[in-house]
Structure 1
C-alpha cells in the first residue's frame, strides 16, 4: 500500500546498519587508496630530488705534492669566491690523514658541485688545525694553492688559483715550505 502524503516510512534497523557499514567500508577503502597514492607520489618526488642531488655532486681529486713529513694532517680549505677568500671564511674546511702518503705525494678527494672554487692547503705537521708562523709572520708549516705555485713572497689573489670544476678535472697543489 502506497504511503500517504506526509507519512515517512522508517527503514528497519537491520537495513540501515548494513548500509552504514557498507558505506564505512567504501570510505575506508577510498581513503586507503588515497593515502597509498600520496605516499607513492611523495616517495617518487623524494627519489627524483635525491637523484638530482647525487648527480650534482662530483668527486674532485686533488693531488698534493712536495709533502716533507708523514706527521700531522693536511687541511684543505675550499673557497667559492674572492670575498670568502679575502675574509678567510672557507665554504668547506676538510682535514685529511697522511696515511696514504707515498714519496711526498698524497691524493685527496672531496664531493663538490660543478662550479668555480679556489683550494688552499696547509701541511699541519703538529695537527693544531692552523698554520703556525714564526716571530716575523712567516709560515713554519707547508702551504699551497690549487694549480698555482707561489713564486713571490706575496699572498696570491683568488683569480690566481681558482679552478672551474666544469672544465678542469685535474687539480694539483705543490706544497711550499719557507
Structure 2
C-alpha cells in the first residue's frame, strides 16, 4: 500500500513537470494549451454553485493569479474537503477582466474543471464540480479560445 502511495506521488510530480507534488490540503492544477505567455492566468475555485463561474464574489473562494506561459502550474493550498469547481481566465492584457468581442464572445482564453464545455455561455457548476476529500490532488485543465 505504501508503494502505491509513493507511485501516486511520483506520478503527481511527473504531471507537474518536476514541481513539488501536492500534500494533503492542496490541489495542484496544470493548465495546458495556452496560446501565448502574455499576461496572467486568473484562477478561482469555489463551493458556491449560485455564483459560479464568477467566484470572486465568494469571500470563501480560493483565488490565484500567476504569470502566463505555454503551460502553467498552480497550487491551491489550505483546501478543506468539499465539492469545488474551478474557473480560469487567460487575462492576456492583465486588465483584471474577461474581454469580449461584440459584447458577447470571449476574446481571451478560459477553462473549467472537469474540462466543462461552454455552450451559449459558461458551464453550470454541476458540469465543472469535483469532489475533494482532503488528500493531495492533481488536476489538468485545458485552456480554450473562441477567437
Q: TM-score, normalised by structure 2?
A: 0.71
CA root-mean-square deviation: 2.3
Post-superposition offset of 1:168: 8.2
Q: Distance in 1 between matches of 2:26 and 2:126?
A: 23
Moved over 6 A (4+): none
Greater RCO (Cα-Cα under 8 Å, separation 6 or more):
2
Post-superposition offset of 1:161: 0.6
Question: Which residue in the other structure is 2:16 paired with?
Answer: none
Q: Deviations over 1:126-153 (max 9, x none)?
A: 0011110111411000001012242633
Question: Which residue in the other structure is 2:141 paired with?
Answer: 173
Q: Structure 1's 86 and 65: CA in aligned 2 closer, same or farther, altered over 3 A?
A: closer
Contiguous gaps of at least 5 residues in structure 2: 1-23
Which of these two proteins has the greater Rg computed from alpha carbons?
A: 1
Q: Deviations over 1:150-176 (max 9, x none)?
A: 263342110101111217823221111
Paired positions, count: 119
Question: Which residue in the other structure is 1:114 paired with?
Answer: 81
Q: TM-score, normalised by structure 1?
A: 0.60
Q: Structure 1's 168 and 83: CA in aligned 2 closer, same or farther, altered over 3 A?
A: farther
Contiguous gaps of at least 5 residues in structure 1: 1-56
